[in-house]
Every structure is written in structure tokens, then in C-alpha cells.
């Protein structure tokens, strides 16, 4: 009988200075506890300003006032890490493209270029951020917005290929006024509705380090799940911060479990560990959810921990390989055969 506990639908192999474990070390951490995992780093690099930090390198974005910038080499690095594995090990990963600026009209072109340079590797894009507490303000250049045509062009291209889109965009600004209507909730809904053919996963259901659950958070999410115009959207409950919100009281755990039990096919679990150093770091996030796991039906628990990940990413792999056979010159003969 398998000892696997979950598939990890949200984890970062590298951190804000593009450092992390070798993929073989991460595979060893997964062991017989984590069956499959997405594979992506972080799309941005923290600038090391000697004027500010001297000879002390910042390793996290909150350690420095210097800007963040998009780091496109992350995609080539991840592709080569994945390619270094044997076939059986490769099958345990879902590699994702992240090294693009979602405010750039050329973002979709970057994704196309990565797919044609590394065919057979990637099946999604993300996690990338549009609106993220503290991070958005630090990014050099034009800031991403939910209505930017560059983002629309990117999501349209993802739909053409069949790529999964894992997007982080906050449901609200930090520290809103009491009773304030969530400022970004409507814009996020409109973005998702403009792209009905794109498979979208909303990271952390819009929550953050200081973006707390808004008034009627559970109802907002469940209303979206019940909206037939949003049936292409899935909801990610990754991150220990999100888990803490979900289990802060017995009532909160009951509320979250109720939403999951009624909509088990729409939710994905991930740890959101960054540059993981041990198996225990990932298991700690999983077990934070124990009060919720204990309230789920066996079917709902299996879907959130395993089946949804496998269904969504297996289909993305199938569609992306099909697109590559039609669009990568070296593979066209294979498609004809």
C-alpha cells in the first residue's frame, strides 16, 4: 500500500536569489511521502545593492529595499534540471514556465520561445504574480495589472497551447478598512471570465501574509465555484499562512471543510515551500491542515490531495505535447508519422 500523502501543486525549487536544492535532492525529499510535484522557481531576483547592503547578500525580498527584477534564466535552469533525470523520475514532476514579466506584451512570446527551445518539458506557466502584497511595489519598471492586455495575451496563448496557469493575485489590499468591498475580487473575476478556455489555478484563494480572509471569503470562493462561467478556474489552498487562516478556530475549519466537501473537484493542495531544505518542512504544512483533513469525506480528501492535480496536469501535458508536435519544426515529422 502506498505511503504517499499528497501531490504538491505549489512549491518553489529556488528562492528570491535563485538558490535551492538540486532536483535529485528534492526528489529524495519527496521520497515515498510526496507522489508528484510541480517544478518551478521564482520569476524574480532580488537585486543586491552594495550601496545598501555592503558585502551582506540579501536572500529574501524583505531583507532589502532594492528592487526585484524578472529573471528569465530560471526557465532554462529548471528545464536542464528536469532533463537530467531518468524517465521514471521525470514523470513525478510538472515543470512550469515563470521567467516572464506579465506586464510585457512580449510575455507570451517568451513562453512560446521556451516551449520551442525545450519541447517535451513544460506543461504550465506560474506561479507568477499580478498583485502581491509588498512584492508588486518592489518590481522594477511597469507594474502588472489585472486589466493589462499583456496579461490577456499571455492567458490566450496558454489556452491555445493547453498550459495550466497558476496565478497569484491578491483578493484585497493589506489592511483594508472594516466593511470595505474587496478591491481586487471583482477585477479578478472579470479577468477569469474573459479567458474561459484557459485552465487557471488561483493561488492561495487570493490570500497573503497580511491579506487576511475578507468578509464572506468562503462565500465569495464558493459563489465562484458555482458560477458556470468560471468552471475553468481552480483554487489553490497552498501555504502555511493560508492553512493558519483555515484552522484558526473550529468554526473556520468547519467552514473550509464544508466548501471542500461540496466542491472537491475544484481545489488543489500545495505546500508553497520555497527552496525546501527537508521533507519535514513540507510535511509540516500538510499537517497544519489536519483539522480540515479530518472533516473531509474520503473522496474529497483524495481529490484535493491527489486526483485533481493528476487530472489537470496530465491533460495539460497531453495538450502541450500535441501543440509542440504541430509547432516545433523538429517535431513536425513525428506528428506526421
pLDDT digits (tens, 9 = 90+) for 98-139: 999 999 999 999 999 999 999 999 999 999 999 998 899 999
State the burial class of residue 149 (Cβ atoms within 10 Å of its Cβ: 0-12, 13-18, 19+): exposed
What is the rounded distance in angstroms from the CA atom of residue 305 to the CA atom of residue 79? Answer: 26
Whether 331 shows a pLDDT value over 90: the answer reads no
CATH architecture, domain 6-336: Alpha-Beta Barrel (3.20)
Q: What is the pLDDT of residue 337?
A: 46
Report the pLDDT averaged over residues 308-328.
97
User: Can you list the alpha helix ranges (DSSP code H) found in 91-176?
Assistant: 107-117, 135-138, 149-161
Whether 336 shows a pLDDT value over 80: the answer reads no
Pairing of strands 68-70, 93-97: unpaired
- CB 152, CB 193: distance < 8 Å: no
- State the CB neighbour count (10 A cutoff) for residue 259: 23
Whether 55 shows a pLDDT value over 60: the answer reads yes
pLDDT per residue over 226-255, tens digit each?
A: 999 999 999 999 999 999 999 999 999 999
- What residues does each domain of the chain span? 6-336
Residues in the chain: 337
Q: What percent of the chain has pLDDT over 70?
A: 98
E strands, the chain, in order = 6-8, 34-39, 44-46, 68-70, 93-97, 124-131, 164-169, 199-202, 233-236, 267-268
- CB 244, CB 288: distance < 8 Å: yes
pLDDT band at 171 (very low <50, low <70, confident <90, very high): very high
Q: pTM for the full model?
A: 0.96
H/E stretch holding 246: helix 240-246
Amino acid at each position: 500500500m502506498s505511503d504517499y500523502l499528497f501531490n504538491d501543486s505549489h512549491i518553489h525549487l529556488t528562492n528570491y536569489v535563485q538558490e535551492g536544492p538540486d532536483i535529485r535532492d528534492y526528489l529524495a525529499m519527496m521520497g515515498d511521502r510526496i507522489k508528484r510535484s510541480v517544478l518551478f522557481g521564482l520569476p524574480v531576483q532580488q537585486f543586491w545593492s552594495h550601496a545598501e547592503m555592503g558585502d551582506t547578500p540579501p536572500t529574501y525580498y524583505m531583507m532589502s529595499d532594492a528592487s526585484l527584477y524578472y529573471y528569465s534564466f530560471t526557465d532554462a535552469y529548471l528545464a536542464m534540471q528536469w532533463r537530467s533525470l531518468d524517465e521514471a523520475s521525470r514523470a513525478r514532476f510538472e515543470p512550469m514556465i515563470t521567467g516572464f514579466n506579465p506586464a510585457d506584451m512580449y510575455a507570451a512570446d517568451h513562453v512560446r520561445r521556451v516551449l520551442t527551445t525545450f519541447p517535451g518539458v513544460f506543461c504550465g506557466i506560474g506561479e507568477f504574480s499580478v498583485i502581491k502584497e509588498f512584492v508588486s511595489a518592489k518590481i522594477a519598471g511597469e507594474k502588472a495589472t489585472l486589466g493589462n492586455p499583456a496579461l490577456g495575451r499571455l492567458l490566450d496563448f496558454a489556452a491555445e497551447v493547453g498550459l495550466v496557469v497558476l496565478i497569484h493575485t491578491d483578493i484585497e489590499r493589506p489592511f483594508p478598512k472594516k466593511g470595505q468591498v474587496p478591491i481586487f475580487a471583482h477585477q479578478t473575476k472579470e479577468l477569469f471570465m474573459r479567458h474561459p478556455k484557459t485552465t487557471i489555478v488561483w493561488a492561495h484563494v487570493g490570500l497573503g501574509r497580511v491579506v487576511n480572509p475578507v468578509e464572506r471569503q468562503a462565500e465569495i470562493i464558493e459563489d465562484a465555484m458555482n458560477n458556470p462561467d468560471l468552471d475553468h478556474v481552480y483554487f489553490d489552498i497552498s501555504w502555511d499562512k493560508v492553512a493558519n487562516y483555515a484552522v484558526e478556530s473550529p468554526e473556520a475549519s468547519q467552514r473550509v471543510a464544508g466548501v471542500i466537501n461540496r466542491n472537491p473537484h475544484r481545489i488543489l493542495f500545495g505546500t508553497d515551500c520555497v527552496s525546501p531544505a527537508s521533507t519535514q518542512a513540507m510535511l509540516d504544512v500538510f499537517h497544519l491542515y489536519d483539522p480540515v483533513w479530518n472533516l473531509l469525506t474520503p473522496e474529497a480528501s483524495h481529490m484535493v490531495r491527489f486526483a485533481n492535480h493528476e487530472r489537470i496536469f496530465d491533460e495539460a501535458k497531453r495538450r502541450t505535447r500535441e501543440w509542440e508536435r504541430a509547432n516545433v519544426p523538429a517535431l513536425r515529422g513525428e506528428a506526421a508519422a
